Structure 1
Amino acid sequence: MLTISLVTLLALALLLGSGVWIAFALLGTGWIVLTLFFPLPAGPILASDFWGASYGWDLTALPMFIWMGEILFRSGLGNNMFQALAPWLGRIPGRLLHSNIIGSGLFAAVCGSSAATCATVGKMTLPELKQRGYDERLAIGTLASASTLGLLIPPSIMMIVYGVVTEQSISRLFIAGIGPGLLLLGLFMAYVIGWALLVGNKQGKVGEAVAPMPLARKLRISLQLLPLLALIGGILGSIYGGIASPTEAAACGVVLSMLIARANGHFNAIIFKDALFAAVRTSCMIAFIIAGASFLSSAMSFTHLPMNLAQQIGDLGLSPAMLLVVLTLFLLVLGCFLDGISLILLVTSIIMPVIETAGFDLIWFGIYLVIVVEMSQITPPVGFNLFVIQGLTGKDIMAITRATVPFFALMIVAIILMSVFPGIATYLPQAMRG
């Protein structure tokens, strides 16, 4: 058994390190294990797993939400959102720095993609904040970190992937992400407020004061948020109201996003084609990785490696809290080299028996896993949000990374709070079930 474990880990490490596609690395590892250690034809198992991983109805929500996000990414909605938020933030310590945080939270609620949220909000806020004299490092840190909420605040592509491979309710995962998402928003805003009061005001790095504006004009400008809020309410309300499944709500969201983009003057045949092709490329990539992970999971089941690993960890007598600490450190290391979807699928392929044996609620664990994946989005060398901001600003990748350090620490604080108060993630799903 030790030989099988070593060969499995070595094959996976070599394939991942060689730079081949993640899906091929997962497929290759499974194929090597089955070929070397089991007198079983790998081909039929591969075909069966590919079919089983691709026909699930829940999985059809994935390309719909991705397509919706691509349309909104090109719709000019970020400009409207910034203009609507700016008048209300002038009296809060930190002022327009909060536009990165609140704007990312709002856009995340209709996009589901961290990179798209970062690019859309960043194109509007970073030049404006720089022009107004805000601290550039904190502007970059708030954008890079808050845009990761695209993975947590529903609808979330990561939650759909996790729900499909672990057979958990996507609706319950979506609603479980609301509490932790608001928690992270609150922590980020509290940090900016504290920084502004203790440091920013003294150093003059909180930008120009926002000119006072009559309440009637503020409300009139805020009307630009109505399409976005209507889209959020329509998608989530239809799911939790029992009117539509996540897949049906996603399809409706695509239609509504087209109408919003058209009304905003940013929708034509070219944008339709570009958004569709981008969604197809992303969806195919994710589906291929899911199929590869399914095949690796089957190979692992023949080796009994996950079950043996669970038993060995159980024999160590680690408390759930200590297990969570070890697991978090392990995942953070992996997150430096794997993208979020690959990380989720690799974890669910190998260590889910460990999680079940330890007695973790799988809905809670899904939210925890998504937060860890969020953290991997701002860690080099494979932090996608870092690359997006580098493209927007031209800054060195390590300088961008240093700007995110305080917010990385706040994400760890959020995990600790979720561990101490699991109801942050589980209360709403349990209430929905009740």
Structure 2
Amino acid sequence: MDLSLVALLLGIGMLAALATGIWVAVALFAVALAAMMVLVSAPAGPVLATTVWGASNSWDLTALPMFIWMGEILFRSRLSEDMFAGLSPWMRNLPGRLLHVNILGCGIFAAVSGSSAATTATIGRMSLPELKQRGYDERMAIGTLAGSGTLGLLIPPSIILIVYGAATEQSIARLFMAGVLPGAMLCLLFMGYVAIWALLNKDKMPAKEEVIPFIERLLATRRLFPVIGLIVGVIGSIYAGLASPTEAAAIGVMLALLLSWVSGTLNRKSFAEALMGATRTSCMIAFILAGAAFLTVAMGYTGIPRELAAWIGSLNLSPYALLIALTLFFVVLGCFLDGISVVVLTTSVILPMVEQAGLDLIWFGIYLVLVVEMSQITPPVGFNLFVLQGMTGYNIFKVARMALPFFLLMILAIVLIVAFPGLALWLPQTMLSN
């Protein structure tokens, strides 16, 4: 049978399985098993067993449940209140004032959470009522939160970067380093847009609040020390070469438990809820990764990825044309699947094309996460949109319209890292050379 027809039939089978509403992991296993049993002479059962064991028996993936647990613990702490109180006095003189707290708060929480939805929910739970009470434009408040919440995917420790690193056998520490500058750049783009919007729409901004003396601002900053200490303990230990990402994740859990205990939010109920939340999320991701690994092996037996890479190579597409096509593909796919599913579903097929085009796989990981970030605020399956819909009661498409300017800024961020690859590669190359 022609391999192009086989690929088409498998793709249709995958879409049909997902359309039924079954779990993504089950759909992956079903399609891979069908391909193995119909198209390949190798025994499907032993291949399934060895592949699932190999995908699960990965030391790098040990960091995944630990970072998720750390985020669950902090989600139930007073971290968002402390960050708002520590940041807001310094933002009052900037154009846009407390709207910047949404952006910086999400950036800071992203550095201790690794989850987009958790970042949006934690910061939004505190900031949206405060901003509404102070008279800030609701559309801009929700838009900044929707866009900035996606930073949880990019700024380390990013759960999706761990998944990408495990799937592509790339260094997770290097991926974490590569995400720092693009994450900071995205924060600056968001803050720049908010400042310009505030200057052009002064009628939509509340009256200026009383200026807080410098000493009082310094005193308020003390409430940021715990979270800064947590970031330094987790990310600093990786960058300094003192701990691997897995060891740093364990350090993060210990520090998060200590921080929660000191703030008075750690009790038997919150501990059990955080542990169960982390267990559910980790099992879901592990199940998807196992299914994706089996599908990858099945596709390898059929020869489809090799043929597809050869076909792409025969088109003589430039790297830029390939990236434009992939961006459109990932955004459309992200309208129907969550970010982790997008990464694990496409890795086996996309990587041969990426390697054929000569693109650095560390750089491509950051590009991929930026595109997946965009999908977090595109309906109908944008996780950040779901979180904000639950918080505000607005229709998901209305929330998506509020987030549209930040979606466009993410496109600009992709253009910038394509034009200047050093934004993603400079830090890991510099740190490793030293």
Do Structure 1 and Structure 2 share a fold, with TM-score over 0.5?
yes
TM-score (norm 1): 0.98
Deviation of the 1:371 alpha carbon: 0.7
The answer to whether residue 378 in structure 2 is matched with residue 351 in structure 1 is no
Q: 2:123 aligns with which of 104, 121, 124?
A: 121
Deviations 1:235-267 (A, max 9, x none): 111111111111011001101001111111111
Deviation of the 1:196 alpha carbon: 0.6
Q: 1:188 aligns with which of 187, 190, 194?
A: 190
Query: In 1, distance between residues paired with 2:315 and 2:122?
Result: 47
- Equivalent AA in structure 1 for residue 63 of structure 2: A
Query: In 1, distance between residues paired with 2:380 and 2:151?
Result: 20
- Equivalent AA in structure 2 for residue 361 of structure 1: D
Deviation of the 1:208 alpha carbon: 3.4
- Equivalent AA in structure 1 for residue 85 of structure 2: Q
TM-score (norm 2): 0.98
Deviation of the 1:13 alpha carbon: 1.0
Alignment correspondent of 1:142: 144
The answer to whether residue 411 in structure 2 is matched with residue 422 in structure 1 is no
SS at match of 1:277: helix
> 205-214 or 227-236: which moved more?
205-214
In structure 2, runs of 5+ residues without a counterpart are none
SS at match of 1:46: helix
**What's the Cα RMSD here?**
0.8
Alignment correspondent of 1:271: 270
Query: In 1, distance between residues paired with 2:199 and 2:5?
Result: 58
> 58-67 or 213-222: which moved more?
213-222
In structure 1, runs of 5+ residues without a counterpart are none
Deviations 1:305-358 (A, max 9, x none): 111111111111110001000010011100001111000001212211111111
Query: In 2, distance between residues paired with 1:10 and 1:35?
Result: 17
- Kindly, what percent of the aligned residue pairs are identical? 58
Task: Point out 4+ residue stretches in structure 1 off by more than 6 angstroms.
Answer: none
SS at match of 2:348: helix
- Equivalent AA in structure 1 for residue 338 of structure 2: D
Alignment correspondent of 1:400: 399
Question: What does 1:198-277 correspond to in 2, within 5 Å?
Answer: 198-199=200-201, 201=202, 203=203, 205-277=204-276
Question: What does 1:32-43 correspond to in 2, within 5 Å?
Answer: 32-43=34-45
- Equivalent AA in structure 2 for residue 182 of structure 1: A
Deviation of the 1:41 alpha carbon: 1.8
Alignment correspondent of 2:112: 110
Question: What does 1:24-423 correspond to in 2, within 5 Å?
Answer: 24-199=26-201, 201=202, 203=203, 205-423=204-422
Query: In 2, distance between residues paired with 1:242 and 1:107?
Result: 23
Deviation of the 1:281 alpha carbon: 0.3
SS at match of 2:150: helix
Query: In 2, distance between residues paired with 1:207 and 1:366?
Result: 41
Query: In 1, distance between residues paired with 2:72 and 2:140?
Result: 27
- Equivalent AA in structure 1 for residue 91 of structure 2: L
Deviations 1:72-107 (A, max 9, x none): 000111011101111111110001011100000000
Deviations 1:272-303 (A, max 9, x none): 00000000000000000000000000011011
Query: In 2, distance between residues paired with 1:29 and 1:321?
Result: 32
Residues 87 and 210, structure 1, Cα contact 8 Å, conserved in 2: no
